[in-house]
Amino acid sequence: MNSRETALWFGERDNFLIITHRRPDGDTLGCAAGLAQGLLEAGKAAFILFNPEATARYMPYVQKHWAPVEFIPSYIIAVDIATPDLFPENGKPYESAVSLAIDHHPSNSGYASLSCLDMTKSSCGEIIYEILMALSGRIGTETASSLYVAVSTDTGCFAFSNTNSNTLRVAAELVDAGAPIGEINKDLFRKKAKSRILLEAMITAGMEFYFDGAVAISIITRAMMNKTGAGENEMDDVASIPTSIEEVIVGITIRELTGPSDCKVSVRTTPLVNANDLASKFGGGGHAMAAGFSLNVSAEEMKRKLLDTLGEIFPLKIGC
């Protein structure tokens, strides 16, 4: 369905439960909050399924929309979720019961009964904006703020290469609808906790370069997190640090999670290398220049596996 058809679909229905993805980012949470608020303003009942991994940064947008225990949804909506295995633990019961998926990931598996997919959009937030405008003709300040969070975070405040004129135009319309972007940008992009700044310095200092500097790999250990005091709130977009260095074509962050050999890998690339292809070799996925996966191995073993695989892409001698 396109945005207009999706708006009609919403218009004829009621009682929606919105699901966000695991390790939720600003796009999935901003979309959920914007959609819930927009549907509310259109006279509908709409809630977000509690996401246990939502960070404090996004809490002001989502927490007022958490579904109360007594809410019985008629329709399940997934926002910004490519595959059902990205549902949070408490969303598992809904995996095969999704009425509608709204998404912009090329890797969307078509798991929902109905889908509103638009891969040309930089963020899922732009699709939600179109749907709500087609539904109601206007959006309120709160909806605009949440959608601005979605649009701006998924494009790195309009600096990532996925940004296009639609992104910027929607952002302009969200500002005109009242989104306080001065405050939001400050919170999301311009202000950093001291712990984050210390962590960034450690990540930069520990970075290793391979394949004549084309590949940069950073391991973020639990010890680094403990030493700097950085928590989940301070981890947003650390994955983009390696590729921020000139000459780096593939930037990889390997992050130690809670288990002793549980690794989350984030891959960022320039157009020369497809990040989704690389991640999919390890069972992950994402976009052409930003993808990821998790594996139950140690960080050092993960690095070795990645270097082996990268050796097939870069037929150059391993430098350091």
For the window 174-193, what string marks contact with a copy of itself as x by the rule CB under 8 A?
A: -xx----xx--xx--xxxxx
45 binds a copy of itself (CB under 8 A): no
| Backbone phi and psi for residue 13, each to the nearest 5 degrees, phi listed first | -130, 175
Unique residue bearing structure tokens 């579904």: 67
Query: Is 159 a residue that touches a copy of itself (CB under 8 A)?
Result: yes
Q: Any residues with CB less than 8 A from the CB of 226 and at least 6 apart, and which?
A: none
Out of 43, 165, 312, 317, the residue judged to bind a copy of itself by CB under 8 A: 165
**One of 15, 164, 221, 294 touching a copy of itself (CB under 8 A):** 164
* Residue 58 binding a copy of itself, by CB under 8 A: no
* Closer Cβ to a copy of itself, 149 or 263, answer by number: 149
- Candidate segments 84-92, 122-130, 196-204, 308-316, binder of a copy of itself by CB under 8 A: 196-204
What does the alpha-carbon distance between residue 303 and residue 265 come to, in Å, rounded to a whole number?
9
Instruction: Identify which of 288, 287, 286, 204 has the alpha carbon closest to the alpha carbon of residue 253.
Output: 204
Distance CA 4, CA 130 (A): 8
Question: Which is nearer to a copy of itself, 76 or 241 (by Cβ)?
Answer: 241
Nearest by Cα to 35 from 155, 134, 182: 134
CB-nearer residue toward a copy of itself: 20 or 145: 145
* Sheet arrangement for strand 16-19: 46-48, 16-19, 75-79, 100-103, 114-117
Count residues contacting a copy of itself (CB under 8 A)? Answer: 38
Given the complex with a copy of itself, which of 8 and 288 has the nearer CB atom? 288
Among 6, 243, 253, 276, the residue binding a copy of itself under the rule CB under 8 A is 243
Distance CA 18, CA 46 (A): 7
Distance CA 222, CA 168 (A): 37
Q: How many CB atoms lie within 10 A of CB 300?
A: 12
Helix (H) or strand (E) holding 255: strand 250-256
Site membership for a copy of itself, residue 173 (CB under 8 A)? yes
Decide: is 194 part of the binding site for a copy of itself (CB under 8 A). yes
Is residue 161 within the footprint of a copy of itself (CB under 8 A)?
Answer: yes
State both tokens at 64. 């007022």
Q: Shortest approach of a copy of itself to residue 190 CB, angstroms?
A: 6
d(CA 170, CA 144): 10
**Is the Cβ of residue 17 or residue 199 nearer to a copy of itself in the bound state?**
199
CA distances from 181 to 11, 132, 141, 146, 270 (A): 30, 20, 11, 11, 28
| Near a copy of itself in 221-240, by CB under 8 A | 240
Question: Does position 246 bind a copy of itself by CB under 8 A?
Answer: yes
Based on the shown chain and the rule CB under 8 A, indicate whether residue 283 belongs to the binding site for a copy of itself.
Answer: no
Report if residue 50 touches a copy of itself, rule: CB under 8 A: no
* Residue 69 in the binding site for a copy of itself (CB under 8 A): no
Task: Give the integer Cα–Cα distance in Å for 83 and 21.
Answer: 9
Tell me if 157 contacts a copy of itself by CB under 8 A.
yes
By CB under 8 A, residue 140 contacts a copy of itself: no
Q: What is the contact surface with a copy of itself in residues (CB under 8 A)?
A: 156-161, 163-169, 171-173, 175-176, 181-182, 185-186, 189-194, 197, 201, 204-205, 240, 243-246, 270
